[in-house]
Structure 1
Amino acid sequence: MSELTSLTIAEARAKLTGKEITAQELTEAYIQAIDAANPAINAYVALTPEIARAQAKQSDERIARGQAGALEGIPLGIKDLFATKGVHTQACSHILDGFKPEYESTVTQNLFNDGAVMLGKLNMDEFAMGSSNESSYYGVVKNPWRAKGSNADLVPGGSSGGSAAAVAAQLCAGATATDTGGSIRQPAAFTGTVGIKPTYGRCSRWGIVAFASSLDQAGPIARDVRDAAILLKSMASTDSKDTTSVDLPVPDYEKAIGRSMKGIRIGIPKEYRVAGMPEEIESVWQKGIAWLKDAGAEIVDISLPHTKYALPAYYIVAPAEASSNLARYDGVRYGLRVEGNDITDMYEKTRAAGFGSEVKRRILIGTYVLSAGYYDAYYIRAQKVRTLIKRDCELAFNAGVDAILTPATPSSAFGIADEDLANDPVKMYLNDIFTVTVNMAGLPGIAVPAGLDHKGLPLGLQLIGKPFDEETLFQTAHVIEQAAGKFTAERWW
């Protein structure tokens, strides 16, 4: 592994602007690292070395002219959910075979405008539906972490498993990701990386393949809190092409890092102490509370009484929106087409062959809860519960709480093809128990590494913030990061 690929974005930025290294040298180091490691980890589903080299060359020219952008020459991986002009964009689904869009997503365009370099497209759960990256048409991603003394492969989490694994294995300096119910924060926690889901509307959704439109939000996965702040600054923007994007100035998030915690009030919700939660999760949570207290924060016990309904309500709202969004994949205009006796037969055969089992399951659930006899009983009721969940958080913030601290996941990374989870989809869905509340309420949430369990695997803590107050999350997460120390996977690939 080249020393260049071990640099954080902040470190690489300093060396590039100081002309100690060139963007082309940095990019070449990552290309070589990917060539060596990707066959084992399977983080990338499409590589773009020629695009990366051309972009790096342009970056060196801009740096030489003194016109460097905020991410000039920084090599990134792009989740396969983001449209990239003329490049493989398939949401890791068979139904989008061969699809290369004629347009660029707003988020990736923002990154390229700031000088970022694209290394390739990253693996993910099909249509972002999954918590383990096992539903991808392009195969499972392997977590760079392994339990002490074990050679067993572990999942990297999902749906942004390729993004998290690539960052943890130093196969990109940072990565784009998306979060509908925890798909940034859960894989970040499983791989010892930092992931932030910003407030709904902070980043444009235009050009991102839709899963559940009222829940989806783009965000970065990075090696540390500072890198996540740098990436989010470039990714976030208002966008006339996305009416849900909010027209608010984007702060310089990096400036929030290092601010004093004096006067900051951190809420600890009693409802997050769920039955059967491992002792190690409780222990790392208590450590996080102590670190923030030592840094000068005030710890406040709070109640979010409707939290217990968040997961069942989420698994009504998200599949309902998915069944509507995925109706457009019909084999007529793009992607896979399986010929049939007539147009209806062609639709049915294309969708049957093109969608994987998890996507089919969620479409069926969504279609059922939207059907005439069940719409009021399920979908309308779930939306009412969503309003109550949002109100719980508003009451806590109105009472003077600045951020809420919870565990990020109910366990560390589990094994690939775990029989217990594979045979029981509900158990798999429980991986989102600590994260879905944030999406249902449209709030920002960040996962930050906070320790290792008895197997030597990373555990993360989650901070939940007020709408559009990502700055407090970066400020607070940095304190946890400094107290917890650095965690890197031992190289086996």
Structure 2
Amino acid sequence: MSDLNKLGLAEARDALRAGDVTSVELTESCLKAIDDASALNAFVHKTPEIALERAKAADERIKGGDAPSMCGLPIGIKDLFCTKGVPSQAASKILDGFKPEYESTVSQQLADAGAVMLGKLNMDEFAMGSSNETSVYGNAVSPWRRGNDDAQLTPGGSSGGSASAVAADLCLAATGTDTGGSIRQPAAFVGITGIKPTYGRCSRWGIVAFASSLDQAGPMTKNVRDAAIMLETMCGHDSKDSTSAELAVPNFEAMLTGDIKGKKIGIPKEYRMDGMPAEIEKLWSDGADMLKDAGAEIVDISLPHTKYALPAYYVIAPAEASSNLARYDGVRYGRRAQLAQGDGITEMYEKTRAQGFGHEVQRRVMIGTYVLSAGFYDAYYNRARRVRTLIKKDFEDVFAAGIDAILTPATPSASFGLGEMTEADPVQMYLNDVFTVTVNLAGLPGISVPAGLDAQGLPLGLQLIGRPWDEGELLNTAYALESAAGFVAKPNKWW
């Protein structure tokens, strides 16, 4: 078999079990693809020695006949996950040289299942961004191009390296994290599948925190079946994370029947934004028709507090970031600024943070500190928390009325060029999250499925939002949508 790196998780698993290929061969194919794709800047810390060692161990395990589904499959790990003895920088200068002495729960579960870590993937600094342009490693680049245009495009953010690597077949799948859309938006931009599970499904332990009440890990894969396989391994209760749910993890793959007859799919009127591109509108309408043809009932619904979601999110997330990032002070680990004669501890804090944090992180920390300050706590932070409760109740009311899943666009546009949304107006960049942040605020599962191409040949994704803890049903609805959409486009290789 040639081009082994182009396989998905399910195909590769079946080939491994049949003895048609070894994990070492799969891994070597991916390592070569990574070396040939430096132009994408997706992998920022390569771990070929670890990869080949794990691949050999996986081959032995498969021969023994007791290997789990993920055994022997080469994947990438977002740089936000702490990996023992391997740089884990969250794409920030302030964590330069940090090599944890421990492993995040999610990456440990994947390793225990026999998955092969190829290396660490690029991302926005501390997961703050929608275009992967805030990384200390430089921009991650999408493997897609607009028609015959050579302009470099964003793979989305913050999990841009993960998206680019999976779309370009550098790995079979990758981990991502999603605080306001950082799995689903990049997945939509590069034509892959990305699922954010219910808050509490995956342990946050060992994942560098951005906003603790919003962050959630999930898989980024080549199709829905692969997402089901990888998600099952990533989920599970963890006593080290107080927000981790003590719930059994079902066999998500076994729930993929494609049968959605009689399911009620909600179409929220509030997601019809002013100025929405006609292509997004048509994609959404076509998606609803596909689900209807598959036997689902399409129901118009209302989520009245949607319009307050972005403002509420951009108060709550920076407030939690301000609190979480206070630990980076140059004292115990990470970077410490060079101090002048006579500098005290205050100067050390100030210089370390000024030099270590990028502009976007500094911006959000300052916003967060402002909204938490004595005179503004009630006016901003507490009000945003109350709005969040109302947004959550909107979803609860809709699901209580019998809706099984909600269909929306994943992004307000296709991928845009790197540098096209400059720092001059950060709000323009924040608007990229308009369809995704509600899901994080309500703690719900959401999945992005590639469903078409725009006029310039770039992928467009649709989002499905599910009931809490109902990832199996959500994946099955996504599977039906994927089957109907028949999206098979791949980027032309230019790198």
Tell me the TM-score normalized by structure 2. Answer: 0.98
Distance 1:2 1:425, change over 3 A: farther
**Cα contact 1:2–1:33 (8 A) shared by 2:** no
The residue number in structure 2 matching 1:478 is 479
1:71-82 matched pairs, under 5 angstroms:
71-82=70-81
- Counterpart CA distance in 1 for 2:459 and 2:41 is 20
Instruction: State yes or no: 1:291 paired with 2:290.
Output: yes
Higher mean C-alpha displacement, 394-403 vs 254-263: 254-263
Higher mean C-alpha displacement, 276-285 vs 2-11: 2-11
Instruction: State yes or no: 1:358 paired with 2:360.
Output: yes
The residue number in structure 2 matching 1:377 is 379
Instruction: State yes or no: 1:47 paired with 2:46.
Output: yes
1:26-105 matched pairs, under 5 angstroms:
26-37=26-37, 39-105=38-104
Query: Shift in Å at residue 258 of structure 1?
Result: 2.1
The one-letter code sitting in structure 2 at the alignment partner of 1:109 is Q
- Counterpart CA distance in 1 for 2:406 and 2:46 is 39
- Counterpart CA distance in 1 for 2:181 and 2:429 is 13
Of the three residues 341, 344, 347, the one matched with 1:345 is 347
Query: Shift in Å at residue 421 of structure 1?
Result: 4.0
Q: Describe the superposition over 1:278-326 as per-residue Cα deviations: whole angstroms up to 9, x where unpaired.
A: 0000000001000000000000000000000000000000000000000
Secondary structure in structure 2 of the residue aligned to 1:268: strand
The residue number in structure 2 matching 1:14 is 14
Secondary structure in structure 2 of the residue aligned to 1:383: helix
- Counterpart CA distance in 1 for 2:345 and 2:145 is 49
- Counterpart CA distance in 1 for 2:259 and 2:133 is 41
Query: Please, what is the CA RMSD of the aligned residues?
Result: 0.9
The one-letter code sitting in structure 2 at the alignment partner of 1:71 is M
- Counterpart CA distance in 1 for 2:65 and 2:230 is 21
Q: Describe the superposition over 1:90-110 as per-residue Cα deviations: whole angstroms up to 9, x where unpaired.
A: 000000010000000000011
Secondary structure in structure 2 of the residue aligned to 1:385: helix
- Counterpart CA distance in 2 for 1:118 and 1:2 is 21
Query: Shift in Å at residue 259 of structure 1?
Result: 3.7
The residue number in structure 2 matching 1:396 is 398
Query: Shift in Å at residue 243 of structure 1?
Result: 0.8
**Cα contact 1:153–1:415 (8 A) shared by 2:** yes
The one-letter code sitting in structure 1 at the alignment partner of 2:188 is A
Q: Describe the superposition over 1:212-245 as per-residue Cα deviations: whole angstroms up to 9, x where unpaired.
A: 0000000000000000110000000100000100
Query: Shift in Å at residue 67 of structure 1?
Result: 2.4
- Counterpart CA distance in 2 for 1:189 and 1:61 is 37
Structure 2 residue runs without a partner (length 5+)? none
Q: Percent identity?
A: 68
The residue number in structure 1 matching 2:240 is 241
**Cα contact 1:69–1:113 (8 A) shared by 2:** no
The residue number in structure 1 matching 2:116 is 117
- Counterpart CA distance in 2 for 1:455 and 1:2 is 30
Query: Shift in Å at residue 484 of structure 1?
Result: 1.5
- Counterpart CA distance in 2 for 1:109 and 1:91 is 18
**Cα contact 2:466–2:474 (8 A) shared by 1:** yes
Q: Describe the superposition over 1:425-481 as per-residue Cα deviations: whole angstroms up to 9, x where unpaired.
A: 000000000000000000000000010000100000000000000112111111111
- Counterpart CA distance in 1 for 2:413 and 2:2 is 32
- Counterpart CA distance in 2 for 1:259 and 1:384 is 38
The residue number in structure 2 matching 1:417 is 419
Query: Shift in Å at residue 6 of structure 1?
Result: 1.1
Secondary structure in structure 2 of the residue aligned to 1:422: coil
The residue number in structure 1 matching 2:271 is 272
Runs of 4+ in 1 over 3 A off after TM superposition: none
**Cα contact 1:313–1:385 (8 A) shared by 2:** yes
Query: Shift in Å at residue 256 of structure 1?
Result: 1.8
The residue number in structure 1 matching 2:453 is 452
**Cα contact 2:188–2:450 (8 A) shared by 1:** yes
The one-letter code sitting in structure 1 at the alignment partner of 2:29 is A
Distance 1:124 1:2, change over 3 A: farther
- Counterpart CA distance in 2 for 1:258 and 1:70 is 18
Number of residue pairs aligned between Structure 1 and Structure 2:
491
- Counterpart CA distance in 1 for 2:151 and 2:484 is 30
Structure 1 residue runs without a partner (length 5+)? none
The one-letter code sitting in structure 1 at the alignment partner of 2:248 is P
**Cα contact 2:22–2:59 (8 A) shared by 1:** yes
- Counterpart CA distance in 1 for 2:256 and 2:152 is 35
